[in-house]
Structure 1
Amino acid sequence: MTIGLCANIAHNIANSGSNDSMAWSWGFGTMAGIYIAGGVSGGHLNPAITIMLYVFRGFPKKKILIYVVAQLIGAYIGSLVAYGIYRNCILNYLETNPEQMTDVYNSFVTDRMDGVADAASGFLTEFVATAFIGVIVLALGDDSNAPPGAGMNAFILGLIISIETMAFSASTGAALNPARDLGPRLALITLGFSRHDMFSDGWWIYGAWCATITGAIVGAILYDIAIFVGGESPINYPRNSVKRVGHKAKVRWRHRFRRRER
Structure 2
Amino acid sequence: MLGVYCSGVSGAHLNPAVTLANCIFRKFPWKKLPVYALAQLLGAMAASLIVYGNYKSAIDVFEGGQGIRTVGLDTSTAGIFCTYPAPLLTKTGQFFDEFIGSSILMFCLYALLDDGNNGAGNLTPLGLFFVIYGIGACFGSNTGYAINPARDLGPRIMSHAVGYGKQVWTAGDYYFWVPVIAPFLGCTFGGFLYDTFIYTGDSPINAPYMGFTRFVGVRAKARRSTMV
TM-score bracket, normalised by the shorter chain, equals 0.7 to 0.9
**Aligned pairs for 1:1-262 within 5 A:** 31-38=1-8, 40-95=9-64, 101-102=71-72, 103-115=76-88, 117-149=89-121, 151-194=122-165, 196-200=166-170, 201-205=173-177, 207-231=178-202, 233-239=203-209, 242-243=212-213, 245-246=215-216, 249=219
- Write the distance in 2 (CA, Å) between the matches of 1:57 and 1:43: 14
SS at the partner of 1:86? helix
Aligned residue type for 1:112: P
When the two structures are aligned, how many residues end up with a matched partner?
A: 221
Q: Which runs of 5+ in 1 are unaligned?
A: 1-30
Scaled by the length of structure 2, what TM-score is found?
Answer: 0.88
Identity %: 33
Root mean square deviation of aligned Cα: 2.5
Distance 1:227 1:185, change over 3 A: same
Do 1:125 and 1:168's aligned partners in 2 also have CA atoms closer than 8 Å? yes
The offset of 1:113, in angstroms, is 0.9
The offset of 1:95, in angstroms, is 2.1
Do 1:79 and 1:108's aligned partners in 2 also have CA atoms closer than 8 Å? yes
- Write the distance in 1 (CA, Å) between the matches of 2:30 and 2:69: 46
Do 1:112 and 1:119's aligned partners in 2 also have CA atoms closer than 8 Å? no
- Write the distance in 2 (CA, Å) between the matches of 1:218 and 1:187: 30
Do 2:103 and 2:188's aligned partners in 1 also have CA atoms closer than 8 Å? yes
Scaled by the length of structure 1, what TM-score is found?
Answer: 0.77
- Write the distance in 2 (CA, Å) between the matches of 1:64 and 1:244: 21
